[in-house]
């Protein structure tokens, strides 16, 4: 049971229901973590806005999911690990790739650098080395790409914290951290 209220269709205000309707129109479902975010419509709108902008960037869906999987594992968020395993699978990541991402790497050489950088950013609160930036640039990432990796790290840390703090019910096929 969630430690933070999960807003439902039955308990939603008009503003919350409008947000749920927009989410449902895009995803076909309103995941539980967004129902927790809905306790603050401002926070939910802010997250959805940043998420929408960040997903329109230069990083492909598979790289974004690889980063999300690596950080969910690193930050011990079973909700996010379950969600991104499902989303990553739909994005074309196979079981071996998902396992590699959870271990902090990738079967794709360039994506492995992005995952490694993302994990280092999270582990060191952004205090990464110049060598790590050079490695990313040498792999073909532009400064714009690096800023997007940083953005995705921030979004994933936010959702990892929300998932862990609320201990909400996992509404995706459950994946354990072990």
pLDDT at position 18:
97
> Which pair of structure tokens corresponds to residue 178?
């072990």
pLDDT for the residue 82: 98
> Has residue 178 got a pLDDT over 90?
no
Range 79-116 burial, b when 16+ CB lie within 10 A, else e: bbbbbbbbbbeeeebeeebbebbbebbbebeebbbbbb
Average pLDDT value for residue range 100-118: 98
Would you place residue 142 in the very low, low, confident or very high pLDDT band (cuts 50, 70, 90)? very high
Identify the pLDDT of residue 36.
98
pLDDT band for position 1 (cuts 50, 70, 90) = confident
SS3 content of the chain, % helix, strand, coil (to 5): 65, 0, 35
17-30 per-position pLDDT tens digit: 999 999 999 999 99
pLDDT in tens, 45-91: 999 999 999 889 999 999 999 999 999 999 999 999 999 999 999 99
Say whether 93 sits in a helix, a strand or coil. Answer: coil
- pTM score, whole prediction: 0.96
CB distance 2 to 168 below 8 Å = yes
């Amino acid at each position: 049971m969630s430690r933070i209220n999960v807003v439902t269709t039955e308990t939603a205000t008009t503003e919350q229901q409008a947000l749920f309707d927009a989410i449902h129109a895009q995803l076909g479902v309103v995941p539980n973590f967004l129902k927790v975010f809905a306790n603050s419509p401002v926070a939910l709108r802010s997250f959805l806005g940043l998420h929408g902008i960040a997903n329109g960037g230069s990083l492909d869906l598979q790289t974004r999911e690889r980063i999300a999987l690596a950080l969910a594992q690193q930050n011990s968020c079973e909700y996010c690990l379950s969600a991104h395993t499902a989303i990553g699978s739909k994005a074309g990541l196979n079981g071996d790739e998902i396992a590699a991402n959870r271990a902090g790497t990738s079967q794709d050489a360039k994506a492995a650098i992005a995952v490694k950088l993302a994990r280092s950013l999270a582990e060191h609160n952004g205090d990464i080395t110049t060598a790590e930036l050079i490695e990313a640039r040498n792999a073909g990432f532009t400064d714009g790409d690096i800023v997007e990796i940083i953005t995705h790290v921030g979004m994933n840390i936010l959702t990892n914290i929300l998932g862990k703090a609320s201990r909400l019910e996992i509404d995706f096929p459950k994946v354990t951290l072990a």
